[in-house]
Structure 1
Amino acid sequence: MDDHAHAEAFAEETSSPSVAGAHWLTDLLAILSAGLICGVLTAMFAISAAALLFASVLSAHITLAIGICLLGTIVLSVVIALFSSCPGMLSVTQEVTVVTLAVIAASIHGTMFAAHSEAEILATIIVMIGLATTVTGAALLAMGVFRLGRLIRFIPYPVLAGFLAGMGWLIVSGAMAVILGTPLSAQTLPTLFETANLIKWLPAVAFALVVDLAARRSGSPMVLPLAIAAFLVVFHVAVWMLGLPMAELQGQGWFFAPAQGGSITLPFHGNPLAQADWTAIWSELPKISALLAISGAALLFASSGIELSVRRDVDLDRELRAAGLANVLAGAGGGAAGFQGLGLTILAHHLGASYRITGLLVAAVCIAILLYGATLLSFIPIPLFGGLLLWIGGGLLYQWLIGIYAKISRREYLIVLLIVALIINVGLLEGVLVGVFAAAALFVLEYARVEVVKYAISGETCQSRVEHHPDDQAYLRKNGSKIQVLRLQGFIFFGSGQQVYHRARRCFETSDVRFLVLDCRDVTGFDSSAIQSLTRICGMVREKDGRLIVSGLKPALSQRLNRLNLGGMHASAVLHFDETDQAVAWCEDCLLHEWKNRPCTQHTQRFADRLAHDLDDPHAFGAMRPYLEKITYKTQNRIINQGEGGTDIYFIESGFVRVQLETRNEQPVHLRTLGPGTTVGEMSFFLQRARTASAIAETDAVLWRLSHHDLLQIARSQPELAHALNSHFIRTIAERLDQSNALVRSLID
């Protein structure tokens, strides 16, 4: 059964009221279950991020951090669910953004700790989080409005890998700080193996490993919900069997202590704007700017991953606009930054709830937890939050520090290690900035090693599209080494400019070059140091009494080259042509004009003499004259029209004829220019097919026409003359083919 039959059968099935009702009920159950499951997971991820946001020194204010992250998650879930390009898109306050906010919060705390009250420090941090989220949202919104979703393509891959691996380490470090209650550092590392700490972080590590292993093997989206439920059951059963009081466990750091009044603190409570220290916030602007880049890159990565995973097109610019608007609104209320969630969205689609209402249900669950769930938090063990963070951070570390080892070069991997080491020992912003500079330096180094000369070819094989008399053609092939063409490519700067200079000097040292053509059609740009290299080439060419020709240069680059004037004193030695073929044709004309006692100027001035020479028969013209028709064409007159029947062949006595391939939507393609002593139309003449190209008079021209019917008449009455004509035509075609083959061979070699 084909797709059309399947579609008809499906339409018939769903047209039944009972079937339609069953589908509706199934979808409703899927939406409700997905909304509940994803809502609880989203809330737990937000709470885990909150534990990361106020780790160690600010952990006493965990309910405030939970309010910040849950508020941001609620706004993100509603706005992105409504405006995303992919129905069923879920979002959450992300760890990669929260860890940056945590670094800034810790920095503000360290700066203000000695001279400000705790209330002022908290107010400053709250305002900073809201401002950073709002600015991030405005930047994402602007990127979406200006359709900059493809910017992800311009961020060096090693920098992104190093940043994500560094994020993984910061999340792992933050997870250990959440579990132990103190920051993880070289000084606190030995305390990990103390019994009191060992029994805290081992269950978290075990949970992360079990979840990761089960998720990799089964691939089921239900692994994480089931693992969380199992951990809660086992943990509380163990507490019940051991008879441990809840207050004692809270005091030992196994559970969060419930907030006063049993409620979660909202960030806008108490007007923090009035107590904030704006000087401390302005000093953190460089790190806030890093948050912009982090959020934009991570969002685009997540959206691309969702597109691949759910097999549905995602409009990156629309996702940027949706996330931008959501963060602006979340930041206005003091919420933390976030964006589309890869894992949660995939889970919702696997549960069959790829609808916008799913995101609204997730927001409703988070609102319920925000309003009524503070007491419930005191029953969720801290190792569970730490285990979730360890799973996320460990996954990032494995993927971007170990998994990419075989996918990138050793130099690029060293950049990844450098970024991670700097993030661990110095700071996030410093690591990213050094990574960008290191990637740029590596790019310059690698690009300088690329051969800027795409190929070098002499005039022996690279002849112009102007077809001369056979004598002239033979002379040009013999003296073609005097013309050297260097086809350049890419961006020419100080390193590659030296390559061009040394290659040009080698041309003049190893052969009798007089004309050096720099084919710049593939050149994308050059810097001032490349101009100095060209100036040196000009001086060298002038010393050798040669000529330097630049061809195919883009108009903007040509104007810049003219402004720089190549050193001024050598400007007269440089010629400019739009096309390389024009440059080579000019060089060929120079060689032909310098040829003393040029044979074709003596015995082929008249068509009769030329025909006698080509056919090796002094009476050829007289024998053919009854069959030939002399025609004069003015400039731009059409001689042959592409697509018409090919029944005539033309001998060119004087002037030039342009052969071109005409297309429907583009400019005609110049194939060849034919001069005196050549023929045009022989291919279609012999194959008896429609003309494959057009022929137009470039100048006033005189041609002699021979029809196919007249050639048959010659073959019947004068077979020897017909044989000579056929041999001449075959030789002409063979020479053109040989020239093309020689050019291909030279390019391959």
Structure 2
Amino acid sequence: MLELLASVPTKLHHLSFCHQSSPLSDASSTTNLRPCRIKMENIPSAKKLAQVNNLKSIVNNVRQDTAELAVYALSDRRSMRNLSPASRQRNIYLSPEENPSPGPNFNNLMSKSQENSYSKVTDGMTESIISRARPLNTENHGKSSLSNGFRCYLSLNLQCDEMNDPRARPITNTSLDNDFEESLSFNLPSASSNLSEQTPLLQQDIRKRDQNGPVPINDQQDVERQYPTHQGHWSKISDLIESSKIEKFQRFRLIGRPKSWDFQSLWLKSIQTPAQVLPAVTLGLLLNILDALSYGMILFPRGLAPFSKLGPAGISMFYVSCIVSQLVFSCGGSGFKGGVGSEMIEVVPFFHSMAQLILDDMGDGNPSAVVATTLVAYASSSILTGIVFFLIGHFSLGHIVGFIPRHILIGSIGGVGWFLLNTGLEVTAHLDKMEYKTTTLQKLLDPETLLLWLIPLSLAIFQIFTDKKLNFKYYLPAFVMLIPVIFHTVVASFSKLDIPNLRNTGWIFNGSHGEPWWHFYTLYNFSLVNWSSVLKCVPAMFALAFFGILHVPINVPSLAFVIREDNFDIDRELLAHGASNVISGLLGSVQNYLVYTNSVIFIKTGGGSRLAGILLALTTGVFMMTGSSIIGYIPVMMVGVLIFILGIDLLREALWEPRKKLKILEYITVLVIVIVMGIYDFVAGIFVGIGLAFLSLVFQTSRLSAIRAIYSGEVAGSTVRRNPAQSWYLKNVGKQILVFRLTGYLFFGTIASFEKKVCSMIESAASSEQSFRFVVFDFFLVTGIDYSSAEVFGRLNRNMSKKGICLILSGFGGREELQLTLESVGINQSSGVKMFKDLNSALEDCENELLKTLYASQESRNQQTMLVGSLDVPKLPISHLNALVGSYGSPRRSQLRLAAATTLDECPGVAKHLHLKEPLRLILQIFSILTDKK
């Protein structure tokens, strides 16, 4: 490489040529220089050529620096003081105009780089650092740029540490030189030591130090600040806390050093930063309150007698789940600093199903036992969901969740929307249970009940239609908060309207009667729990966990796309969700997850920091402890509006928006899932959807042909170069070779049409007296095969053997799993099936078998020629020969003999060269096709 760089000036005059060598070039230069596509305007100038000439010396200097570093690694810094790298002349990376002298000019260069590096610091500090760094004396330390660079960088860092820490000792040139020499000192045997052939090159203390680990270095010696990192056995857990460990340690260290405090830092960290996130925290708190009033209130089926008064308990459980998830995500669990955690509202239908199951199993004779068992089932489902989340994240299986068909999730979302509409009617119209009967319709149309549900439903529809036209992110919270304001304003305007009467008629919720937020913990009575009923809820728990894990792979990438966060880890988010759900279940609460909508609103309003998330959790906890008394003044229509809005949005997302995106079968699957979930059962709807998705997949994939292409032997031939006679013959008999190129995954859905196609082609060929002799199946593009498909090939082999057709399989090079699957059903060499690694080998074998007929006919004709001698035997025309060979044998054998006879008679240079010996006969046969001259 150095010789090539040195020869650049001598080769500039022929850089534009690729294959020619200039006679003016030096004989010692490289001869095969091919600088193609170099334009004349890109040829370097004389100034740049001067820099290129210095490359050789620069490379030598770099090699010497590498050698010095290798010596430093083997040296001991506690002996051999005042020894620096060997002095040498070197050229700095400057042009000749900037550095005309060969001597070192490193101090000037470093002073320039220091001024550029610290330009962002205040002017006074910059001048102080530069003035104190310039007078370094480097004459006693050789002229190594690497050594001087370390010394200069070390001086800057030490002086910066001195300015930040007043307790640091003053730095002088002498102390700096001693520190630097100590960090680069050697450990060599002294002159008085006895040296012999057995003296180890590496001293004892060095070997001990190497065995114990790396050489310990302090902050002043480790100029690159590369601290060693240690990982525990559970790397996934350590990764969750490693990101915030250093930052937290530095903060605690700062708190423990009051002398380092200053007013500006206190104002920035304690007042200004929290004040900047207060608007986002306020909005996030408002969203949590609205969600708690809407979905926490319906956490228990209020239409059932044992759960009719558990609305406040559901709100408290909602807050606990929300606070736990927010703290886990904001304290380093999630990669999204402004992520908002909340209760998983989509699990409410599962909770109602479990509550109904427990009530049916235990009866309503002991309401306390029913409530205690239901609470244990709720908390157990949260723990189970967290374990599933944690296992998927720990084993890095987050990408597998994406394999679940999307239309199943869409149908589940639609089922949740249907459920929310039913729940909204139950809450606003005070229905015991939503049943599709005439009695339910009569109660909904009753004049005393009609306005209770019609007003919130109308307001929800109005908000949905106006939200599209008003592009205002605070429109929904403002719209919902105006409902109680207007309601109580109207109540205060009319004296006939009083709060107690409105509670009795169903316009306002009944109060919690002074229950504290922790009252739901008193309902946990493990002595009353019926564990057999809890075990009966396990299928619903697993269905709930299955439905819960579908949201994370969807919400996380969607949130990352909106906030432009490219470095997210789905497995880390799953681990965080697992921790938050397990903790929530242990605290007696329910499932939670990262809410996409709330997170987007929270981040866009200035809450994109972990401090904002922690403050949101704290304010939510404060409101949970102090705000339970306001439930008795909340209008029912306020909660009903929120439930109706979400239900209509989910139904629109599931049924209206994908109507033109999904295929017919997929859309029918979505409709069936929504109807089954809404009318019959939520868990059954998920399993019905999975079954329909499986049937839809089989039906759609079965319509795809497993045959990529079909070739005849006339078109598909091997790559073997054959003589004209053989090529002529193979072209005539190539119809007896049939090649199928298969593709995709062969399973029971696609193999039926494949078998039908193959059998029909064989039967049609046999009926037209043009039967095949070889049928080749190429598996090169096949990704896999199941047992049903393998049995089909066994059946084809048995049918073809009866008809004298040879089955050949190819494309097994490096595909042992396919070959083993076929061998498991008896397809091997002993069954008469030939297997080859590629299609070319299979075709070559077929051609060789066909050529044997040609050679047999040729030998037979040679023997006849030797017997008759010189007798003049009249030759029959081809038409008579065709009738003769057709009178005996099968159509395949007749075609082969006819083709052989035609080849020997009509192929150029075949019949007339039979009496010659090799290699003259081969040469004449080859050249006979090029000319008709003798």
Same topology, TM > 0.5? yes
Q: CA deviation at 1:613?
A: 4.4
Deviations 1:699-740 (A, max 9, x none): xxxxxxxxxxxxxxxxxxxxx9xxxxxxxxxxxxxxxxxxxx
In structure 2, do the counterparts of structure 1 residues 93 and 549 end up closer, same or farther at CA, with 3 Å as the change threshold? same
Distance, in Å, in 1 between the alignment partners of 2:347 and 2:789 is 43
**Equivalent residue for 1:97?**
347
Instruction: Give the whole-Å Cα distance in 1 for the aligned partners of 2:728 and 2:119.
Output: 78
Out of 328-337 and 449-458, give the one that drifted further.
449-458
> Which one is further off, 226-235 or 389-398?
226-235
Give the distance between the partners of 2:393 and 2:733, measured in 1 at CA.
Answer: 60
1:104/1:481 CA distance change after superposition, 3 Å: same
How large is the RMSD of aligned CA atoms in angstroms? Answer: 3.1
Aligned residue in 2 for 1:231: 483
Runs of 4+ more than 6 Å apart: 11-18, 21-27, 598-601, 617-620
Q: Aligned pair in 2 of structure 1 residues 60, 203: CA closer, same or farther (>3 Å)?
A: same
**1:609, 1:105 → 2: CA distance?**
95
Tell me the alpha carbon deviations over residues 198-240 of structure 1, each in whole angstroms, 9 at most, x when there is no partner: 2222332233223323433334321222112222221221121
Does the CA contact (< 8 Å) of 1:612 and 1:619 recur in 2?
no
Q: Which residue of 2 aligns with 1:162?
A: 411
- The structure with more strand, counted as a fraction of residues: 1
Which structure would you say has the larger Rg?
2
Match of 1:43 among 269, 289, 293: 289
Give the AA of the match of 2:512. Answer: A
In 2: Cα distance, 1:346 partner to 1:407 partner: 26
Residue 488, structure 1, aligned to residue 749, structure 2: no
Tell me if structure 2 keeps the 8 A contact 1:453–1:500: yes
**Counterpart in the other structure of 1:133:** 382
CA distance in 1, matches of 2:121, 2:780: 60
**Contact 2:368-2:523 within 8 A present in 1 as well:** no
Mapped to 1, the partners of 2:344 and 2:638 lie a distance apart of: 18
CA distance in 2, matches of 1:429, 1:461: 57
**2:440 aligned partner, one-letter code:** T
Compute the displacement of 1:271 (Å). Answer: 4.2
% identical aligned pairs? 23
Describe the shift of the 1:123–1:618 C-alpha distance in structure 2 as closer, same or farther (beyond 3 A): closer
Q: Residue 657 of structure 2 aligns to which amino acid in structure 1?
A: G
Residues 480 and 642 in structure 2, CA contact (< 8 A), matched pair in contact too: no
Alpha-carbon spacing, 1:326–1:548, altered in 2? closer, same or farther (3 Å): same
Match of 2:508 in 1: 255
Aligned counterpart, 1:208: 460
The residue number in structure 2 matching 1:81 is: 330
Q: Quick one: which amino acid aligns to residue 119 of structure 1?
A: S
1:289 to 535, 542, 550: 542
8 Å contact kept, 2:298–2:311: no
Other-structure match for 2:615: 361
Which has the larger displacement, 421-430 or 297-306?
297-306
What does 1:505-654 correspond to in 2, within 5 Å? 505-508=759-762, 509-510=764-765, 511-553=770-812, 554-566=815-827, 571-596=830-855, 597=858, 610-616=922-928
Q: Which runs of 5+ in 1 are unaligned?
A: 1-10, 621-719, 721-749
2-side partners of 1:388 and 1:562: how far apart? 62
Counterpart of 1:158 in 2: which secondary structure?
helix
- Residues 219 and 149 from structure 1, CA distance in 2 versus in 1: closer, same or farther, beyond 3 angstroms? farther
Shift of 1:358: 2.4
Contact 2:299 2:348 in 1 (8 A): yes
Structure 1 match to 2:669: 415
Tell me how far 1:133 sits from its aligned partner: 0.5
Q: Are 1:124 and 1:275, in contact at CA under 8 Å, matched by a contact in 2?
A: yes
Measured in 2, the distance between the counterparts of 1:562 and 1:587 equals: 22
Q: Distance in 1 between the 2:916 and 2:442 partners? A: 99
Q: Secondary structure of 2:347's partner?
A: helix
Counterpart AA for 1:485: V
Change (3 A) 1:619 1:417: closer
| Larger CA deviation: 426-435 vs 261-270 | 261-270
Q: Structure 1 CA distance, aligned partners of 2:559 and 2:121?
A: 29
User: In terms of mean alpha carbon deviation, does 120-129 or 534-543 score higher?
Assistant: 534-543
* Equivalent position of 2:473 in the other structure: 221
Q: 1:433 aligns with which of 687, 696, 703?
A: 687
Q: Secondary structure at the match of 2:318?
A: helix
> Residues 51 and 59 of structure 1 are in contact (CA less than 8 Å); yes or no, is this contact kept in structure 2?
no
CA contact (8 A) 2:296 2:318 kept: yes
Q: 1:473 to 1:272 in 2, by over 3 A?
A: farther
**Cα drift, residue 317 of structure 1:** 1.6
User: Which region of structure 1 is more displaced relative to structure 2, 51-60 or 463-472?
Assistant: 463-472
More deviation in 552-561 or 488-497? 488-497
* Change beyond 3 A, Cα 1:363–1:14: farther
| SS of corresponding position for 1:475 | helix
- Tell me, yes or no, if the aligned pair for 2:386 and 2:578 is still in contact at 8 Å: yes
Instruction: Report the Cα offset of residue 618 of structure 1.
Output: 11
Q: What CA distance in whole angstroms lies between the structure 1 residues aligned with 2:596 and 2:609?
A: 16
SS for the counterpart of 1:487 is: strand
The corresponding residue for 1:142 is 391
For residues 736 and 400 of structure 2, what CA distance do their matches in structure 1 show?
A: 47
For 1:525, the aligned partner's letter is G
Q: Equivalents in 2 of 1:490, 1:143: separation in Å?
A: 29
Runs of at least 5 residues in structure 2 that lack an aligned partner in the other structure: 1-117, 124-262, 859-903
Aligned residue for 2:277, secondary structure, equals helix
Q: Does 1:466 align with 2:727?
A: no
Residue correspondences, number = 607
CA-CA distance at 1:41 after TM superposition? 0.7
Q: How does 1:113-132 map to 2 (within 5 A)?
A: 113-115=363-365, 117-132=366-381
Q: 1:523 and 1:413, CA in 2 relative to 1: closer, same or farther beyond 3 A?
A: same
Question: Does residue 642 of structure 2 align to residue 388 of structure 1?
Answer: yes
Corresponding residue of 1:56? 303
CA 1:262–1:120: 2 relative to 1, 3 Å = closer
2:591 aligned residue (319, 326, 337):
337
Could you list the per-position Cα deviations for residues 255-277 of structure 1 after superposition, in whole angstroms to 9, with x for gaps in the alignment? 22222335234433354223211
Q: Is residue 2:705 matched to residue 1:448?
A: no
Give the secondary-structure state (helix, strand or coil) at the position aligned to 2:514.
Answer: helix
How far apart, in 2, do the equivalents of 1:424 and 1:367 lie? 35
Counterpart-to-counterpart distance in 2, 1:350 and 1:14: 32
CA gap 1:151/1:537 in 2 versus in 1, 3 angstroms: same
Change in CA separation of 1:603 and 1:136 when aligned onto 2, cut-off 3 Å: farther
Q: Residues 677-712 of structure 1, C-alpha deviation per residue, up to 9 Å, x if partnerless?
A: xxxxxxxxxxxxxxxxxxxxxxxxxxxxxxxxxxxx
Instruction: Check 1:465–1:349 CA distance in 2 against 1; reply closer, same or farther (3 A cut).
Output: farther
- 1:241-295 per-position Cα deviation (integer Å, ceiling 9, x unaligned): 1232222222222222222335234433354223211111111111111101110
Contact 2:274–2:611 under 8 Å retained in 1: no
Deviation at 1:123, TM superposition (A): 0.9
Counterparts of 1:520 and 1:302, CA distance in 2? 40
Q: Distance in 2 between matches of 1:378 and 1:14?
A: 59
Instruction: Tell me which residue corresponds to 1:191.
Output: 443
Find out whether 1:108 has 2:363 as its counterpart.
no
- TM-superposed CA distance for 1:571, in Å, is 4.4
* Alpha-carbon distance, 1:558 to partner: 0.9
Aligned AA for 1:409?
K
Q: CA deviation at 1:614?
A: 3.9
State the alpha-carbon separation in 2 of the partners of residues 312 and 364 from structure 1: 26
The whole-number CA distance in structure 2 between the counterparts of 1:120 and 1:617 is: 100
Shift of 1:549: 0.8
Asked if the contact 1:209/1:391 (under 8 Å) is kept, the reply is: yes
In the alignment, is the contact (CA less than 8 A) between 1:521 and 1:552 conserved in 2? yes
Q: Deviations over 1:373-426 (max 9, x none)?
A: 001222222211121111111111111022222211222222222222221222
CA spacing shift, 1:604–1:134, aligned 2, 3 Å: farther
